[in-house]
Chain A
Amino acid sequence: MAELDTSSGGGKKGGKVRSKKASTKVDLTAMVDLAFLLITFFMLTTSLSKPIAMDIAKPDMEDNDVKLELRESETMTILLGKNNKVAWYMGLAGSQPHIEGFGEIRKSILKNKDDLMKARRRQLIVIIKPTDGSNYKNFVDIMDELNITGIKTAPAIDDVYITDGEKDAMKAAGIL
């Protein structure tokens, strides 16, 4: 960096020729620039690279004595199919399930939750059934939707008992 010569020199004329003393000052500006750049980099990478954990609890496989009794009017079953589609229905299987994408499922969950709250003042219970056609992202997405919509009751994750009725309905919709 250019430094202004502000020394009040120039007065001595015709004196002895002295060897010029080199200044001991080092320009640290560039070094500070670099240091701050690195600081910024380390600050951003340390705080942003930390991954997030999503806790999943599944029922014990061997402990079959505990049967979960759910009221059919308060359960919403969500089946995950292929092509990022879901099928959901309220209550017992049998009625034609609604086929939706991941964009609309949030509204449906919220609507069912509010309807149930108004009608009976009960919390909605959600059953998630991922089928073989779905992928891992679908599963994470639907768990995330439950988190967003504020479903407090632990969702039941069931990938074993998918009934024939559900399979037929999904096949008919072409998502199994």
Chain B
Amino acid sequence: MPRAKVQRKSTAIDMTAMCDVSFLLLTFFILTATARQPDPLEVTTPTSTYKFKVPDKDIAILSIGKGKVFYEIVGQDIRKATLDKMGERYKIKFTPEQRERFGVIGAFGVPMASLPGFIDMDGEQRTKFLKNATGIPADSTDNQLSEWLLQSRNAVAELHQAQMRVTIRGDGAEEYPVVKKIVAILQKQKINKFSLITSTE
């Protein structure tokens, strides 16, 4: 009598379904992840135990570090509208192409006069340029920062019917008087409530 043969099973597992699922998840996470643009101004934010997350629309971020101020408006439509208003205010004509390009620029720190040239640069040149940029002028004689804030607030109010939240991203080692100066500019515009951006501990 022949011995009963034990049926040997294959050790290979079908990975197709698992692969499908994992790539579906991967696609989901890639699409939901917001690409963070590199910050031209190197800032180390202090830590805190607060829990409130920074909203991702209708905000403007003021980066303060090494005595310089950079400004970032969130949202392409707001950026374009703000640029229009600033162009009107400072009598600078921006071409439709420049307007389009400004929509994708994150934080910047250049005076109004050199802004058109800055927009025309390509990404790499811009990064290099911002390394040595002076920041946005915020003295009492030529307070462009205040103007930027005002125009972007108007743009948010017109386009989104919301109040713009002003946030300050300061470097931990920054001297307090610099921060005080910026806060004074905010308070001149009756922005008495603002947020400080910190990182989790």
Contacts and interface: CB of A to CB of B under 8 A. Distances in A.
A96 B177 CA distance: 25
Interface residues of B, number: 58
A71 interface: no
A159 B176 contact: yes
Contact of A50 (B32, B46, B54, B194): B54
B197 A136 contact: no
A100 interface: no
B33 A42 contact: yes
- Describe A's contact surface by its main secondary structure: mixed
Contact of B192 (A48, A59, A131): A59
Interface stretch (A14-22, A32-40, A118-126): A32-40
Interface stretch (A109-117, A143-151, A164-172): A143-151
Nearest to A141: B46
Nearest to B54: A53
Interface string A8-46: 000000000000000001011101100110110011011
9 nearest CB pairs, A to B: A28-B15, A42-B29, A137-B172, A35-B22, A53-B195, A140-B46, A144-B48, A136-B174, A136-B170
23 contacts: A6-B9, A32-B22, A36-B22, A39-B22, A51-B199, A52-B51, A52-B197, A53-B55, A54-B195, A57-B193, A58-B183, A60-B187, A131-B176, A132-B175, A136-B170, A137-B172, A140-B48, A141-B48, A143-B196, A144-B47, A144-B48, A147-B50, A148-B49
